[in-house]
Amino acid sequence: MQIVATKDKVVLKPVEQESKTPGGIFIPDQAKEKPSQGLVVSSGNKDIKKGDKVLYPQYAGCPVEIDREKFLILRAEEIMAILEE
């Protein structure tokens, strides 16, 4: 199944936080912060493209699960920045 964003919506695949610190300490799931970076899967906005890595507020959007994959649907205006490498 494919998910396609409409109008001003953006569909993201959240990028999970590392489970180990650079010093080698493992972080339990309960202590991890909610992801605030994501990879754009689909966009109804012309400024945000599929494949962009973006920053968004921690509690923004609506989480959905399709075919056992977790996605986040949010308004394009909620995206704070596009990360470029």
pLDDT by residue (tens digit) across 25-42? 776 666 556 668 999 999
Percentage helix, strand, coil for the chain under 3-state DSSP, each rounded to 5: 5, 40, 55
Assigned CATH for 9-17+25-83: 2.30.33.40
Q: Bridge-partner residues for 59, per DSSP?
A: none
Top pLDDT among 15 and 41 is at 41
The pLDDT > 90 percentage for the chain reads 68
Going from the C-alpha of 71 to that of each of 23, 26, 55, the distances in angstroms are 30, 25, 14
- Tokens at 54, concatenated: 């973006």
Full-model pTM: 0.80
Query: Which pLDDT score is estimated for 23?
Result: 77
What is the domain partition of the chain in residue ranges? 9-17+25-83
* Mean pLDDT, residues 44-62 taken together: 94
Query: Which pLDDT score is estimated for 43?
Result: 96
Q: Please, what is the end-to-end C-alpha distance for the chain in angstroms?
A: 30
Q: What is the average pLDDT value for the chain, to the nearest integer?
A: 88
